[in-house]
Structure 1
Amino acid sequence: MRGEALMPMMPVTDSMFLLIETREHPMHVGGLQLFTPPEGAGPDHLRTLREDLLRNTDVRPLFRQRPARPVNTMGYLGWAEDDALDLDYHFRHSALPRPGRIRELLELTSRWHSTLLDRHRPLWEVHLVEGLNDGRFAMYSKVHHALLDGVSALRHLQSILSEDPAELSCPPPWGSRRPQPAGRRVPTSRSALLQGTTRVVRQLAGMAPAAVKIASEALREQRLTLPLQAPRTMLNVPIGGARRFAAQSWPLARVRDIATASGASRNDVILAMCAGALRDYLIEQRSLPDSPLVAMVPVSLRSRTDHGEAHGNQVGALLCDLGTNLSDPAERLAVISRSMSDGKRLFRQLSPLQILLLSAMNVAPLAASPVPGFVNNTPPPFNIVISNVPGPSRRMYWNGAGLDGIYPASVLLDGQALNITLTNNGDNLDFGITGCRRSVPHLQRLLIHLDTALAELESATR
């Protein structure tokens, strides 16, 4: 029997990600990173790097966690610590088939992102990939959403990188720059639990005035985008377990210039870029609805002053009118900017718990998506998830290798066959597009449409 030690109870948000996971719905977040090897690296560089990193057994407690045995058929309530962690299993070395193009790398990433993580082990994998024809190497990693959300995962990645190309002692993907506690985590004290419960009760009592604010925005002023207002599209269908993944980078300066010229935020410009691409893609598929698409936009609830190691899930959900019914890119941008501004203004008036509850209302219809016939017979709560995750603002390195790209790979659910997630990386914006292999044909065409949409926004705001 594998060694294990009991750990504190699992938060409800974490257990839900385990409960809803099926073969068709893997619930892990992932990422593909591209690196330029350090100068003078030989053909054995990657093998040697992996061997050196495997000697580092100082593992963040998070990466030792695996689900404890379920208490009943409803799911898991606790984590267990794996005392027999097999790093050689979790940290793998692979090579691309010839000719070693990005195309082969993305196809391999698509396959890895389609498979479930083993619940008998800690819920993460990392793959080092050699064989790219331009001499670079890649790293694909995935971790279960019950352990980390996308923001947490990217923050952890940044924590093992360095701004110094000469630093050759960066931690491995399971490591940390902070000393790890020798002892196991202990349950929270009774007084701390009481304080936390009191705080939750106080915030729940504030839901009544919060509900009045929401009702005023949504009903009286008719400005807030609500769930189940989205049109049905080819993207809102039951999905299979196989994935396609596409990725590309664009200069951040181009988005910044459009934002300055239009008075919109950079994130609004990015949403308008995605809206233009979705409009062109659906026209190409002869599937553009008359009503505008609605995007769910995750919003991090972490404090900007929170510099601790990232863990868990702390994400709210805004709904945004994408204006895809409009042919003019400037008009689409104005609609998106107004929709996001209204949602953010409401969020500023709510407590973090109230924001979570409002967000839960926005995504609640997804909970019924596994019910047979539900997706095909009800309007989607929204059409797509578009997420902008903060990344490094400067050129970063990992053990001397330059980080060229960070391409997020995300979760899909029944009724949500497409996801666009991006991050800033130095002077670039790196887009990762995840789609259901069965439901989203010619996924790579979205990259062309994103490029076209960006150029159209530049022309419209000059």
Structure 2
Amino acid sequence: MAQAHGDRLSAVDASFLAQERANSHMHIGAVLILEGPPPSYEDFLNHIRSRLHLVPRYRQKLAVPPLETGRPIWIDDASFNLEYHVRHTALPSPGSPEQLRALAARIHSQRLDRAKPLWELWLVQGLEDGRFALISKTHHALVDGISGVDLMTVLFDLSPVPQIVSHEGEPWAAQPEPHAAQLAARGIKGLLKLPLELANGALSAATRPASSLDHVKEALEGIGEVAWAGLNPAPETPLNVPIGPHRRLSFVRNDLDDFKLVKNTLGGTVNDVVLTVVAGGLRTWLRSRGVRTEGLELRALVPVSVRTKDDQGQLGNRIVVMRGPLPVYVEDPVARLRVVRQAMDGLKESKQAVGAAAITGLEALAPPTILAQASRLQFSTRLFNLLVTNVPGPQFPIYILGRELLNTYPIAFLPENQSLAVAVMSYNGGMDFGLLGDYDNLTDIEDLGQALRDALAELVEAAGGKPRGRRKKTSAVQ
């Protein structure tokens, strides 16, 4: 699907806008560490400018129909200025990991301006060893994590020699911005289409009754399972308290082979091992806070991509969420992995994801006010304690202007009353964690990072190996 002027936001994309609050920013991003020397700001701008046509959405802003007559649409920003979105800064000497984390945390503490295209990219010079960093920040309504990995090919190349990209149609010219009356008409037209869409669905069901009944039954069962999960709220923990707008970050560097060793020796999937590591780290951290963990099972909101191969490389969200267990009550790391594995196997066999997708489908037929209420229900903090997302990245080196990408630390978002989010991304043999915390509530976020390292080390040793640490060619950021 082309990213055209006038595209309407999907129900899922619009839900991320509806969920945003003054203290709960719905943007995601990453801190990328690259080999030096850094490119000049002008060279970097020109590189982005030469490829921006591959992602037209990055030159588009939101237009909201009056009186909430329809979901927002994407329109070309006639005043688009690349220099506004691509910032240039440098760390003071010595350019330490702590300084970079503090800068990235401050950047992610500020909401994106909805009057402009919803993204920023920072070129950061002055890191130790002559390296440089990129700090990205993109609203979740624009792109989800799984799709974002595909879009790295816009700026990155597979070899140190930059690829020459054809860009016919430049210089770019914005399409005329619709007037308020045109927006209102489009919104009303969309609302009038709802009965027709429902009728078309009914006609499709009538022509394939057996198949349709199976789908309806499965969806209803799935919605029932989601409702049951909602009737069993997540336990109260120090993680689930009111948050402010300011953030802290911690990075944990790991080797993907450590996770594969545990998976191959003790069973489960890489994602099962990730959840087990998070559970083990949280167990240690909670106990350091004086919280008793006996009988305590936290719940993680685990996004699951339903993006098909045909959807790869397109903007917009194709995700549903499941609530996975974090059994912090289990002391033995092998037993903890077994509990996680069995629970996740059960979730996959359940219809919870199907139910979430069905709810999303119902939201697509909802007017904006109802959609906003539904989105808050899906992200209700009664249902989970923290977000844990695991995004697979390319397992080969990629480059920008001849500089190799060394590390990528993902950054998630904090819903209301959620003071911690854990994002994980694999890249070129690494498995790096980005911990995002509320500034006031997670003053000990570095202790949690160390607890996660220790939890992985326990599992690796139980699997008969020794923690490998991280690849030789890596950054000092931790």
TM exceeding 0.5? yes
Report the 3-state secondary structure (helix = DSSP H, G, I; strand = E; otherwise coil) of the residue aligned with 1:7.
coil
Partner amino acid, structure 2, of 1:115: Q
Q: 1:339 to 1:180 in 2, by over 3 A?
A: farther
Equivalent pair of 1:18/1:75 in contact (CA under 8 Å)? no
> Is 1:104 aligned to residue 108 of structure 2?
no
Partner amino acid, structure 2, of 1:345: E
Equivalent pair of 2:320/2:353 in contact (CA under 8 Å)? no
Which residue matches 1:52? 46
Partner amino acid, structure 1, of 2:151: H
Quote how far apart the aligned CAs of 1:359 are.
12
Which residue matches 1:300? 305
Write the deviation string for residues 129-160 of structure 1: whole angstroms up to 9, x where unpaired.
00002111000111111111122222212443
Which residue matches 2:220? 211
Which residue matches 1:129? 124
Q: 1:181 to 1:312 in 2, by over 3 A?
A: farther
> Is 1:85 aligned to residue 80 of structure 2?
yes
Q: Distance in 1 between matches of 2:198 and 2:32?
A: 38
Quote how far apart the aligned CAs of 1:124 are.
0.7
RMSD value over aligned CA atoms? 3.9
Equivalent pair of 1:68/1:76 in contact (CA under 8 Å)? no
Partner amino acid, structure 2, of 1:84: S
Report the 3-state secondary structure (helix = DSSP H, G, I; strand = E; otherwise coil) of the residue aligned with 2:41.
helix
Q: Distance in 1 between matches of 2:111 and 2:231?
A: 29
Quote how far apart the aligned CAs of 1:367 are.
1.7
**Runs of 5+ unmatched residues, structure 1:** none
Which residue matches 1:165? 160
Q: Distance in 2 between matches of 1:348 and 1:421?
A: 22
Matches within 5 A, 1:145-184: 145-167=140-162, 169=164
Matches within 5 A, 1:221-260: 228-260=232-264
Quote how far apart the aligned CAs of 1:252 are.
0.6
Which residue matches 1:335? 339
Q: Distance in 2 between matches of 1:178 and 1:406?
A: 33
Report the 3-state secondary structure (helix = DSSP H, G, I; strand = E; otherwise coil) of the residue aligned with 1:8.
coil
> Is 1:115 aligned to residue 110 of structure 2?
yes
Which residue matches 1:142? 137
Q: 1:414 to 1:366 in 2, by over 3 A?
A: farther
Which residue matches 2:182? none
Equivalent pair of 1:248/1:431 in contact (CA under 8 Å)? yes
Partner amino acid, structure 1, of 2:8: M
Quote how far apart the aligned CAs of 1:213 are.
6.2
Q: Distance in 1 between matches of 2:109 and 2:21?
A: 11
Q: Distance in 1 between matches of 2:198 and 2:162?
A: 42
Q: 1:243 to 1:30 in 2, by over 3 A?
A: same
Q: Distance in 1 between matches of 2:157 and 2:199?
A: 39
Partner amino acid, structure 1, of 2:273: V
Write the deviation string for residues 385-414 of structure 1: whole angstroms up to 9, x where unpaired.
111012111111112111111111111011
Which residue matches 2:432? 430
Which residue matches 1:8? 7
TM-score (norm. length: structure 2) = 0.80
Report the 3-state secondary structure (helix = DSSP H, G, I; strand = E; otherwise coil) of the residue aligned with 2:67.
coil
Q: Distance in 2 between matches of 1:178 and 1:350?
A: 42
Matches within 5 A, 1:343-358: 343-347=347-351, 350=354, 353-354=357-358, 356=360
Which residue matches 1:22? 21
Name the stretch that deviates more: 7-16 or 125-134: 7-16
Report the 3-state secondary structure (helix = DSSP H, G, I; strand = E; otherwise coil) of the residue aligned with 2:162.
coil
Name the stretch that deviates more: 59-68 or 435-444: 59-68
Quote how far apart the aligned CAs of 1:368 are.
6.0
Q: Distance in 1 between matches of 2:217 and 2:25?
A: 36
**Runs of 5+ unmatched residues, structure 2:** 179-185, 206-211, 365-371, 465-478
Which residue matches 1:452? 454
Q: 1:366 to 1:183 in 2, by over 3 A?
A: closer
Q: Distance in 2 between matches of 1:212 and 1:458?
A: 39
Partner amino acid, structure 2, of 1:301: V
Q: 1:49 to 1:198 in 2, by over 3 A?
A: same
Equivalent pair of 1:347/1:355 in contact (CA under 8 Å)? no
Q: Distance in 1 between matches of 2:214 and 2:311?
A: 30
Quote how far apart the aligned CAs of 1:326 are.
1.0
Equivalent pair of 1:36/1:404 in contact (CA under 8 Å)? yes
Hey, which bits of structure 1, 4+ residues long, moved more than 6 A? 176-191, 193-197, 357-360, 363-366
Which residue matches 2:209? none
Report the 3-state secondary structure (helix = DSSP H, G, I; strand = E; otherwise coil) of the residue aligned with 2:101.
helix
Partner amino acid, structure 2, of 1:409: I
Quote how far apart the aligned CAs of 1:459 are.
2.4
Q: Distance in 1 between matches of 2:327 and 2:360?
A: 26
Which residue matches 1:367? 376
Which has more helix, going by share of residues? 2
Q: 1:348 to 1:55 in 2, by over 3 A?
A: closer
Name the stretch that deviates more: 420-429 or 204-213: 204-213
> Is 1:279 aligned to residue 283 of structure 2?
yes
Equivalent pair of 2:13/2:316 in contact (CA under 8 Å)? yes
